[in-house]
């Protein structure tokens, strides 16, 4: 009985963790900043330093002049912000990290490299800048502070979760999910909704809902009754209505004022993006390089820094959604936490009606109120901060939602518990002989593939993979012609293919399942099915430069196909055993290949959430791309820790307890009953 209660408790926790729409999509502290002077655009970034402190470097365009701004002794930079002619840097003291110091550089003064201390006080967890102003939120109270902006008035009792600063206005995200703007012509108007992030450009602003929908308003912003984009993680706004949106799969889409993302960056996954004026910049996920576009200054060269911090470094213990791969290489005393929005997708449908946009914010700022007390009372009476009726409605909605969620979770748990008792799951952790394993595979309940795919993708595994049609893959491989065949294995055959959009890919096609009159498919067919679903589940949740990238899949009739990036230089096995001469003949090259493969395996074991054990590492599963970067492939025999994630069938592939058993380097993958030459 205690075991069943534990299962029910875990399932309830799983339900509320994965299906709660309130996830954090981006860091409120930026490590990239853009400043504009009359004829110069300055790109600033925090770079990995030789010591524990990060380097603050700025590069001017055109010309490429580089200037470094060292931190004060005993302090290290944690965030930066900039605007027209100025730069601000936030640092924390090594002896007391709860105290922040902010310095201000005025590029219009001579000399332009002298700074002034404008803030020393409690830690700030949010920092936002506009054309001429900077504002921040205290980490302990959420209280708003602004610098060099005396004419702005915000009721002191308001507390914000996020803020954004535009040309002459500020927008803040309230605890209830509404957005309220101040300054300009906004007059304290409220944009009702259910938002979790807000951003501002020079003359327009945008907010991202908890469902990943992008809504924009203000002078020059597109007017529409539907969201401008969906599945959005972050947004960067520039001059006029130029906007770039960062999707949950890392790709960036730009629109407005003729803005387009450069062709060589279209399919590149980014970690963060920033904008100011006509300049847009972002840090690539693959190698942390800082790329810029939008302005004519970057037409010839997008690369500004080869390696930049995409987000502030934090202690490993604070990362709830995993670690960014190799982030310890750029963070000497911490890591960069993976954004939760990249792994979890909101499964609830968005509301059918979009909130109406408020009046455009920009215009000459209104005069300050006579006294704070008068304006504070007016705000309370007018409902700017939310009245009693609104709070009661929110309480009723929350209580009702929790009640419905608990009922659904209880029903789901009961059904799953009854199914688990009937499925005959084996809990003996001891080793079995080959005949027993074969019988355990045959006894597994065979669920329809579509249902299992839906279960996998609904948990966030399908955030960046594409579903291909069989017709498209037939056209790309000339009907799976032998001329396109590049290899084969126990799972099936691998083909070289050219998609209609020009991409060169590798297609792994499972062997056709033997026809049978029985309601149960043969054991080998179930092995193929399990390998297909296992590899799809694993590769769709990982992203590392030393792991082969899964682009998509196809499930039609009896076809089970996986589509990968094509690696032009083949496998390590070919270079070791088949080729007479190889660029990998030197010890330096072989060491580089070994280190790359080790980094990929280390990511699976250490940084993937939950950890993944490959179990079939061998030279034929080590592939090389056109730049001789090593990538680990073939995840059909891999295992995840079942304490964190169920297998695609709901049954461990070895019929045992589902624990992590170590990487099988020198033995065949016995759980699948096959003999494979290593």
Token pair, residue 221, equals 């912003």
Q: How many CB atoms lie within 10 A of CB 343?
A: 19
Can you tell me the mean pLDDT for 16-34? 60
Contact (CB, 8 A) for 480 and 666: no
Burial letters for 370-393: b for 16+ Cβ neighbours within 10 Å, e otherwise?
Answer: eeeeebbeebeeeebbbeeeeeee
pLDDT greater at residue 420 or residue 79: 79
pLDDT score recorded for residue 514: 42
pLDDT score recorded for residue 203: 85
CA dist., res. 462 & res. 457, Å (int): 5
Token pair, residue 647, equals 């297998």
Across 201-278, the runs of DSSP E, i.e. the strands, are: 204-209, 214-218, 232-237, 243-247, 252-255, 270-276
- 631 - beta bridge partners? 623
Side-chain-side CA neighbours of 158 within 13 Å: the count stands at 32
CA dist., res. 349 & res. 12, Å (int): 21
Please name the residues in contact with 570: beta carbons below 8 A apart, sequence gap of 6 or more.
623, 624
Contact (CB, 8 A) for 53 and 73: no
pLDDT at residue 363 tops 60: no
pLDDT score recorded for residue 671: 40
pLDDT score recorded for residue 421: 56
pLDDT score recorded for residue 127: 95
Contact (CB, 8 A) for 528 and 513: yes
pLDDT greater at residue 628 or residue 430: 628
pLDDT at residue 381 tops 90: no
pLDDT at residue 445 tops 50: no
Q: pLDDT band for 454, please (50, 70, 90 cuts).
A: low
User: Hey, what CATH class is 19-392 in?
Assistant: mainly beta
CA dist., res. 507 & res. 536, Å (int): 13
Short-list 637, 464, 492, CA closest to 551: 464
Pairing of strands 466-467, 550-556: parallel
Mean of pLDDT over the chain: 75
Helix (H, G, I), strand (E, B) or coil at 665: coil
Kindly list the distances between the CA atom of residue 386 and the CA atoms of 145, 189, 242, 397, 440, in Å, as whole numbers in the listed order. 21, 12, 32, 15, 59
- Helix extents (H) in 354-433: 372-382, 388-422
Whole-angstrom Cα Rg for the chain: 28
Least confident range of 217-231, 422-436, 552-566: 422-436
pTM of the model: 0.51
pLDDT score recorded for residue 112: 61
Can you tell me the mean pLDDT for 18-36? 66
Can you tell me the mean pLDDT for 382-387? 40
pLDDT at residue 498 tops 50: yes
Residue 556 is inside which H or E element, if any? strand 550-556
Q: pLDDT band for 608, please (50, 70, 90 cuts).
A: confident
pLDDT greater at residue 369 or residue 596: 596
Q: pLDDT band for 228, please (50, 70, 90 cuts).
A: confident
pLDDT score recorded for residue 95: 62
Q: pLDDT band for 38, please (50, 70, 90 cuts).
A: confident
Contact (CB, 8 A) for 632 and 622: yes
pLDDT score recorded for residue 90: 92
Tens-digit pLDDT profile for residues 92-132:
876 667 889 999 998 888 766 678 889 989 999 999 999 89
pLDDT score recorded for residue 170: 93
CA dist., res. 99 & res. 148, Å (int): 21
Tens-digit pLDDT profile for residues 386-404:
444 555 567 767 777 788 8
Please name the residues in contact with 504: beta carbons below 8 A apart, sequence gap of 6 or more.
496, 497, 498, 566
Please name the residues in contact with 553: beta carbons below 8 A apart, sequence gap of 6 or more.
465, 467, 468, 536, 561, 562, 563
Helix (H, G, I), strand (E, B) or coil at 38: coil
Largest CA distance in the chain: 86
Residue 115 is inside which H or E element, if any? strand 115-122
CA dist., res. 539 & res. 464, Å (int): 11
Q: pLDDT band for 222, please (50, 70, 90 cuts).
A: low
DSSP state of 189: -
Q: 508 among the known binding-site residues?
A: yes
Least confident range of 167-181, 450-464, 659-673: 659-673
pLDDT score recorded for residue 653: 41
User: Hey, what CATH class is 432-672 in?
Assistant: mainly alpha
DSSP for 535-549, written as a single string: HHHHHTT---TTBPP
pLDDT at residue 666 tops 50: no
CA dist., res. 126 & res. 79, Å (int): 9
pLDDT score recorded for residue 344: 36
Residue in the structure block whose two tokens are 């909101």: 346
pLDDT score recorded for residue 276: 93
Tens-digit pLDDT profile for residues 187-218:
677 888 899 999 999 888 899 999 889 988 88
Q: pLDDT band for 174, please (50, 70, 90 cuts).
A: very high
pLDDT at residue 292 tops 50: yes
Q: pLDDT band for 453, please (50, 70, 90 cuts).
A: low
Residue in the structure block whose two tokens are 């209580």: 399
pLDDT score recorded for residue 537: 79
Q: How far is CA 41 from the centre of its chain?
A: 29
Token pair, residue 149, equals 């902006």
pLDDT score recorded for residue 129: 94
Catalogue the active-site residues. Answer: 616
Q: How far is CA 264 from the centre of its chain?
A: 20
pLDDT score recorded for residue 647: 44
Please name the residues in contact with 605: beta carbons below 8 A apart, sequence gap of 6 or more.
611, 612, 613
What are the phi and psi torsion angles at 227 (to 5°)?
A: -60, 145
CA dist., res. 233 & res. 284, Å (int): 15
pLDDT greater at residue 594 or residue 450: 594
What is the domain partition of the chain in residue ranges?
19-392, 432-672
């Amino acid at each position: 009985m205690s075991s069943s209660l534990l299962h029910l408790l875990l399932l309830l926790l799983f339900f509320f963790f994965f299906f709660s729409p309130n996830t954090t999509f981006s860091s409120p502290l930026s490590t990239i900043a853009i400043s504009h002077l009359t004829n110069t655009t300055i790109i600033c970034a925090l770079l990995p330093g030789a010591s524990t402190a990060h380097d603050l470097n700025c590069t001017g365009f055109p010309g490429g002049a580089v200037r470094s701004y060292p931190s004060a002794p005993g302090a290290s930079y944690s965030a930066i912000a900039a605007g027209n002619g100025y730069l601000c840097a936030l640092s924390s003291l090594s002896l007391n990290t709860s105290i922040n110091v902010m310095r201000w550089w005025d590029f219009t003064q001579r000399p332009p490299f002298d700074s002034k201390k404008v803030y020393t006080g409690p830690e700030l967890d949010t920092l936002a800048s506009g054309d001429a102003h900077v504002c921040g939120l205290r980490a302990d109270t959420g209280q708003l502070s602004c610098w060099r902006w005396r004419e702005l008035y915000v009721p002191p009792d308001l507390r914000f979760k996020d803020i954004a600063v535009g040309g002459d206005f500020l927008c803040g995200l309230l605890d209830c999910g509404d957005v309220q703007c101040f300054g300009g012509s906004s007059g304290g108007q409220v944009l009702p909704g259910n938002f979790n992030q807000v951003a501002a450009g020079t003359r327009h602003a945008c907010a991202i809902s908890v469902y990943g929908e992008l809504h924009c308003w203000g002078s020059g912003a597109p007017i529409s009754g539907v969201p401008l984009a969906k599945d959005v993680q972050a947004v960067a706004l520039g001059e006029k209505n130029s906007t770039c949106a960062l999707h949950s799969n890392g790709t960036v889409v730009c629109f407005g004022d003729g803005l387009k993302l450069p062709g060589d960056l279209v399919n590149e996954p980014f970690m963060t993006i920033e904008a100011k004026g006509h300049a847009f910049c972002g840090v690539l996920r693959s190698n942390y390089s800082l790329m810029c576009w939008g302005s004519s200054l970057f037409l010839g060269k997008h690369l500004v820094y080869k390696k930049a911090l995409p987000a502030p470094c934090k202690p490993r213990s604070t990362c709830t959604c995993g670690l960014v791969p190799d982030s310890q290489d750029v963070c000497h005393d911490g890591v960069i936490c993976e954004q939760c929005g990249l792994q979890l997708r909101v499964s609830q449908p968005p509301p059918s009606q979009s909130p109406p946009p408020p009046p455009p914010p920009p215009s000459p700022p209104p005069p300050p109120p006579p006294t704070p007390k008068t304006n504070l009372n007016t705000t309370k009476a007018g409902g700017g901060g939310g009245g009693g009726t609104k709070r009661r409605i929110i309480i009723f909605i929350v209580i009702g939602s929790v009640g419905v969620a608990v009922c659904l979770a209880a029903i789901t748990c009961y059904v799953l518990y009854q199914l688990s008792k009937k499925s005959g799951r084996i809990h003996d952790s001891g080793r079995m002989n080959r005949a027993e394993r074969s019988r355990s595979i045959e006894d597994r309940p065979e669920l329809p593939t579509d249902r299992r795919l839906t279960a996998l993708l609904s948990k966030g595994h399908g955030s960046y993979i594409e579903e291909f049609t069989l017709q498209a893959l037939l056209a790309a491989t000339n009907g799976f012609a032998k001329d396109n065949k590049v290899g084969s294995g126990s799972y099936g055959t691998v083909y070289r293919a050219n998609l209609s959009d020009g991409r060169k890919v590798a297609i792994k096609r499972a062997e056709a399942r033997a026809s049978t009159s029985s309601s149960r498919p043969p054991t080998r067919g179930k092995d193929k099915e399990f390998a297909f679903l296992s590899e799809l589940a694993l590769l769709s949740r990982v992203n590392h430069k030393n792991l082969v990238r899964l682009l998509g899949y196809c499930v039609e009739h009896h076809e089970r196909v996986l589509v990968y990036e094509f690696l032009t230089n083949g496998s390590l096995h070919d270079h070791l055993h088949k080729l007479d001469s190889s660029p990998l003949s030197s010890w330096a090259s072989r060491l580089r290949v070994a280190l790359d493969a080790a980094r990929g395996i280390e990511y699976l074991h250490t940084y993937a959430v939950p950890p993944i054990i490959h179990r079939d590492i061998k030279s034929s599963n080590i592939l090389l791309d056109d730049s001789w970067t090593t990538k680990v492939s073939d995840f059909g025999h891999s295992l995840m820790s079942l304490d964190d994630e169920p297998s695609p069938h709901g049954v461990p592939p070895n019929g045992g307890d589902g624990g992590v058993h170590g990487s099988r380097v020198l033995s065949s993958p016995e759980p699948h009953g096959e003999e494979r030459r290593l």
